[in-house]
Amino acid sequence: MIDDIETLVRCESPSKDHEAVARSAEAVAKIGHRLLGVEPERIVTDGCTHLRWQFGEPRVLLLGHHDTVWPLGSLETHPFEVRDGVLRGPGCFDMKAGVVMALHAAAALADRDGVSILITGDEEIGSPLSRTLIEEEAKSCAAVFVLEASADGGALKTRRKGVSLYRIEIEGRAAHAGLEPEKGVNAGIEVAHQILAVAALADPAKGTTVVPTALSAGTTTNTVPAKASVAVDARVWDAAEQVRVDRAIRNLKPVTENARIHIVGGINRPPLDAKASAELFALANELGGPLTEAAVGGASDGNFTAGLGIPTLDGLGAVGGGAHADDEHVLVAELDRRTALLKALTETVLNHRSSSAPTNAPGESGAAQR
């Protein structure tokens, strides 16, 4: 497993570099072919490569991604290494170790009938090119096991916030800043008003965060800005809050006379509610406990499947820490145990097919949330 993780970590795969993602997909495919004895289906959506292994009608989906947030060249400053039981390297924790664990767990099954393995290539940028594929693959499943890395201390992720992503674009009018600024419409001032407005939508008591992030305005130091924009990251625990924030952002009005506002983006992932994970977490505790659980602000592709009403358990991947950070690492001693747990969970669900139908029919609970 360590050798396979090394292979994937050394094949860098930043999400927006489709050529790099395609090379990574081939590295994953080669490992999967060796372990499973069959080639995956290569699915390319708008240039982004995803991989799928299907063994009969899908009843259990092992879900992961092989793209990372790390740019090409990161290995030069963050080399792969294993020292004192700790494995390091860009993307090892989030989530190339999880991809390897999924393939090894499936390889250990005596009967893979009913198993589907889907490894996507754009999760780190919100899965814009793989969401439909994920939801289609999950809709007939009794369980989805997400190989994202664990929470602190190895906790499984039984609740995740929903995510909405926006860009607020301001259109003003340029003018010379020294000669006749009064003839301009300052998009920079207007975007400042909108930043304060969206930040006020946060509700700490409910755990709702609405954070203005990347900001730009103007072109030169002596010109009234004609254009400005700000990105907004909103995260919520429940669907009603997600709708409230979405409506409020879409109803923003300009404060500056003659300025115009355009909203791009919207709801990206629905919340992963604890109800979607409860039964599978209890099963995991029976098979490999004692285990802990965590609610986290980050979202994953498990949010999509839970939003459809499919029982979903997340955080089954590597134990370690430092996702997206300089100290990203995996604890080697936990790899075998967590892979064995995934195998046991998959076998148990497959062996109880008649009683393992999804809690809600696909689309019932998800329709409102999406």
Residue 185 CB partners (closer than 8 Å, separation 6+): 172, 173, 224, 226, 256, 257, 258, 259
CA 252 → CA 186, 215, 226, 255, distances in Å?
17, 17, 19, 9
Nearest to 353 by CA among 23, 193, 114: 114
Q: Is 123 a catalytic residue?
A: yes
List the catalytic residue out of 4, 6, 12, 67: 67
List the catalytic residue out of 4, 123, 137, 190: 123
3-state secondary structure of 131: helix
Beta strands in 176-259 (DSSP E): 209-217, 227-236
CA–CA distance, 310 with 365 (Å, rounded to integer): 9
Q: Cα 334–149–166 angle (5° rounding)?
A: 170
Q: Is 273 a catalytic residue?
A: no
Q: What is the largest CA-CA distance in the chain?
A: 79
For residue 166, what are its two tokens? 């926006």
Please give the helix or strand (H or E) that residue 106 lies within, else none.
helix 97-107
DSSP 8-state class, residue 39? P
For residue 58, what are its two tokens? 């899908």
Give Rg (Cα) of the chain.
22
Q: Contact, 111 vs 350, CB < 8 A?
A: yes
Q: Which residues on neighbouring strands pair with residue 34, listed in sequence order?
A: none
Task: Tell me whether residue 205 is exposed, middle or buried, using C-beta atoms within 10 angstroms of its C-beta: 0 to 12, 13 to 18, 19 or more.
Answer: exposed
Q: Contact, 216 vs 253, CB < 8 A?
A: no
Residue 174 CB partners (closer than 8 Å, separation 6+): 184, 219, 223, 224, 225, 226
3-state secondary structure of 216: strand
Nearest to 130 by CA among 55, 71, 65: 65
Active site residues: 67, 123
